[in-house]
Amino acid sequence: MKSLAERATRVRLLVLDVDGVLTDGGLYYGPNGEELKRFDVQDGLAIVEAQRAGLAIAIISGRRSLAVGRRAAELGIAEVHQGAGDKTSVLEALRERLGLAPADLAVMGDDLPDLPIMRVAGLCLAPANAVAEVRRMAHWVSRRPGGGGAVRDAVEWLLRSRRAWPPSVKSDGGGAPQSGLRRSADGGPSRSSGRAPRARRSPK
């Protein structure tokens, strides 16, 4: 029987459900019927840093929402699979395409549709708000809920297990590595704005 630490260090791909994992599970509807979701910015920073550290991230959701595509693009997540009626076949196809073994996979889910893909993965993770059946199957349960830091918690734990946390963070994590947001943070204007203007004003 593998230890929890052995399972954690083996993981190469973390598969995330959306509703109840990346969000609190709430569904909001705009005036034109569009679905709105609330994502956690601290989860976002961890997702960006995970990919930098070589831990790939994928999203598999049973629902479809433009908001998910938008957030995934911000975070540099390429593997986004929405409207997955059969999550297992989606995950198996992904696993084969990427050449990964079941033990290379971690899955974080919160409800019954996630149980089949949790059975495939070498490591099963759950947020605090997961239903009892999912929490029972999980090897590791966050104390934090979906949309409230559960993904941040899980990624920190996975990266610590390979000594890749804390990272040397330069931006606020709101964007993907190549985004303009990160470039502006690297360039320094947002960081130095508190001091530089005063220094320029003083010789006047």
Binding site for Mg ion (CB under 5 A): 17, 19-20, 110-111
Return phi, psi of residue 163, to 5°.
55, 40
Of 19 and 153, CB closest to Mg ion: 19
Q: How far is the CB of 17 from Mg ion (least distance, A)?
A: 4
Q: How far is the CB of 103 from Mg ion (least distance, A)?
A: 24
How far is Cα of residue 119 from the mean position of the Cα atoms in its chain? 20
Of 114 and 156, CB closest to Mg ion: 114
Q: How far is the CB of 126 from Mg ion (least distance, A)?
A: 10
**Rounded Cα gap, residues 41 and 112, in angstroms:** 26
Q: How far is the CB of 167 from Mg ion (least distance, A)?
A: 27
**Rounded Cα gap, residues 117 and 125, in angstroms:** 11
Of 110 and 156, CB closest to Mg ion: 110
Q: How far is the CB of 120 from Mg ion (least distance, A)?
A: 17
Of 44 and 145, CB closest to Mg ion: 145
Give how far Cα 126 sits from Cα of 92, 98, 156, 162, 188, Å. 20, 24, 14, 20, 38
Q: What's the CA angle centered on 108, arms 102 and 109, to 5 degrees?
A: 115
- Considering only CA atoms, which of 8, 15, 43 is closest in space to residue 110? 15
Cβ-proximal residue to Mg ion, closest one: 20
Of 23 and 171, CB closest to Mg ion: 23
